[in-house]
Structure 1
Amino acid sequence: MLESILSVLILGAMMSAIYALVAIGFTMIFGVGGVLNLAHGGLIMIGAYAFLVSTSSSVVGSIAVPTLLGLVIATLVTAVASYVLYGGLVRYIEDNVVITFLSTVMVALLLTELIHYEFGSSPRTLLPIADGTLHLQGVGTRINYMYILGFVVSWIAIGLLWYYVSRTDEGRSILAVSMSERGAQLTGVDLESVKSRTWLIAGALAGLAGVFLGTLQTTSPEMWLNPLAIAFIIVVIGGIGSIKGSVVAAYLIGYLEQFTLEFLGTGYQGIFSLVVLVAVLLLKPEGLFGREFAHE
């Protein structure tokens, strides 16, 4: 029993860090622009397939880059895709919540069809950036090195994001827009620039998450559905617009899922997450931390 508990604690911490990457980008976009970007899952899928294309010689002839470089390429490609999505579509319709909601859903479905057409429906296997497993003899479990790398990379990204938004002028402008869009404009903040940068950052985080999720789980045209659902659950539980809440809720959901897998099996994996979601909606509908910044 003790070994199982230790295994849950270790693996839960590592998977939760990746979930945090998924949720932070989702909540940042809502916090700054009030947009529920349901194409966020599609961006995660773009990250996974960009990594597949750049690292697999079977996809693009004899060209294949090292996996670590492939991670960088996938992150950049997804960031640019997110930036283009905002600049080419969302910026023109974001004032209409319903139209924006439906449009991002359609973008996600369009991306799914394009991936189906180009790569087929069969799941693909991504090359691991760090191959092998670490055997923890005292715990009695083996940990894939990709889990460890995902944990480290996720927290580096979260740390860099924290530094950016709290220690730089450009980052503080994102916080200013989150607090009050009108007030930020009165102080000279370029609203369009802030929103564009927010989408760019959210896309980069989605690309990172896509590579790790695609490697540890599966890469397929439907792979975006589960991460999007998890991101939505995490953001609602933590508080829509709250980055801190997303991190805390990501660990709550990650540990719940790992506990369920370890002690109950895969058939019950999402039940406890939904129970917590319903409880939060009934008892504290603003989320555990509420919204850190609100428009005035």
Structure 2
Amino acid sequence: MVDFVGIASNTLILGSLYALIAIGFTLIFGVAGQANLAHGATITIGAFTAWFVASLGLGVWVGLAAALVTGALFHLVLYQVFIRHIDDPINVLILTLLAWFVVEYGFRAAVGTEPRSVPSLFAGYTPEIAGFSILYNNLLIVVLSWVFIVALFLFINRTKTGQAIIATSMNEKGAALVGVKTDRITLFTWVLAGLLAGCAGVLYATSRSATYSMGETPLILAFAIVILGGIGSIQGSVIAAYVVGFLEVFTVSAVSPRLSGMTALLLIVLVLLFKPTGLYGRELPA
């Protein structure tokens, strides 16, 4: 028998986490037209930052704050040292893929292949509702994910920097003509995406564990979410995250756990075949 309450609650948790993972990826793609394959590496960096800080006895919340910084710094260095000197999106794709491998195998050499436990943000279970209860930690994942998502929406739509990000994403040359410093906006977008990915890494690790290869699945899911939601659309990414979350949970619960991740790949193929612009995407200029 299918547990619909469990599917609904797990969809809420995973959808919120996937949305946080995907919006940083879609920010960079929407503004700079660059696919950042090092996004998965940033998730890993955030998770292991929290693990390391917590192992020093400073607590997971301090670890979360530190992960925001390390995620942002990683993107800052990656962009300033390498990406800003490259114009070809294919070369950016290759370079960020290499950066991902360097980080992944660097962690493999440093900490090994054994999963590392990141402490929960909050221990215990919620009161039972309809025969089902969830971890407070998972509830906090939903809350914190939406705190960051709402904060990003408000920042993008209510501040001058946010408006400059929108202008740059729509037409970089046009934005530059009206005084927007597009290089700074692109750098800021990379740093902001790194901050979000660092946070996502911590939340992901508290619900599972930190491993050197933990960024692989989130990166594949981020691709599926961005393609379904529409390239460059934050709103589309949030909605698509819950669709992907539901399909993932339903497949694992009602069909087979061995098909985990398969629905995301199938979704990419179907969207590219029948609706390449996604839910809220726009046609790319010729």
**Alignment of 1:117 onto 2:116:** no
Q: Write out aligned runs for 1:1-296 (5 A).
A: 4-57=3-56, 64-93=57-86, 95-138=87-130, 140-291=131-282
Q: Which amino acid aligns with 1:188?
A: G
Task: Report the Cα distance in structure 2 between the residues aligned to 1:232 and 1:68, rounded to whole angstroms.
Answer: 29
1:181 and 1:295 in contact (8 A); partners too: no
1:43 and 1:207 in contact (8 A); partners too: yes
CA shift, 1:270, in A, is 2.4
TM-score (norm 1): 0.92
CA shift, 1:295, in A, is 6.0
Task: Report the Cα distance in structure 2 between the residues aligned to 1:11 and 1:229, rounded to whole angstroms.
Answer: 19
Task: Report the Cα distance in structure 2 between the residues aligned to 1:253 and 1:159, rounded to whole angstroms.
Answer: 20
CA shift, 1:101, in A, is 0.9
SS state at 2:179 partner: coil
What runs of 5+ residues in structure 2 fail to find an aligned partner?
A: none
Q: Which amino acid aligns with 2:182?
A: L
Per-residue CA deviations over 1:109-134 (Å, capped at 9, x if unaligned) read 00012111211111111111111222
Q: Which amino acid aligns with 2:95?
A: S
CA shift, 1:286, in A, is 1.4
CA shift, 1:142, in A, is 2.8
Task: Report the Cα distance in structure 2 between the residues aligned to 1:207 and 1:144, rounded to whole angstroms.
Answer: 22
CA shift, 1:99, in A, is 1.4
Q: Which amino acid aligns with 1:116?
A: R
CA shift, 1:265, in A, is 3.1
2:224 and 2:267 in contact (8 A); partners too: no
SS state at 1:143 partner: coil
Alpha-carbon distance change, 18 to 289 in structure 1, aligned in 2, over 3 angstroms: same
SS state at 1:156 partner: helix
Q: Which amino acid aligns with 1:166?
A: N
Q: Which amino acid aligns with 1:77?
A: T
2:50 and 2:67 in contact (8 A); partners too: yes
Per-residue CA deviations over 1:179-230 (Å, capped at 9, x if unaligned) read 1101110111111110111011101110111001112122111111111011
SS state at 1:141 partner: coil
SS state at 2:228 partner: helix
1:280 and 1:287 in contact (8 A); partners too: yes
Quote the RMSD (CA, aligned, Å).
1.6
Task: Report the Cα distance in structure 2 between the residues aligned to 1:179 and 1:272, rounded to whole angstroms.
Answer: 31
Task: Report the Cα distance in structure 1 between the residues aligned to 2:193 and 2:121, rounded to whole angstroms.
Answer: 22
1:12 and 1:255 in contact (8 A); partners too: yes
SS state at 1:116 partner: helix
Task: Report the Cα distance in structure 2 between the residues aligned to 1:82 and 1:156, rounded to whole angstroms.
Answer: 22
Per-residue CA deviations over 1:43-91 (Å, capped at 9, x if unaligned) read 000000010111113xxxxxx2122121111111111111111111111
2:40 and 2:219 in contact (8 A); partners too: yes
Per-residue CA deviations over 1:28-50 (Å, capped at 9, x if unaligned) read 10111111000000000000001
SS state at 1:122 partner: coil
**% same residue:** 38
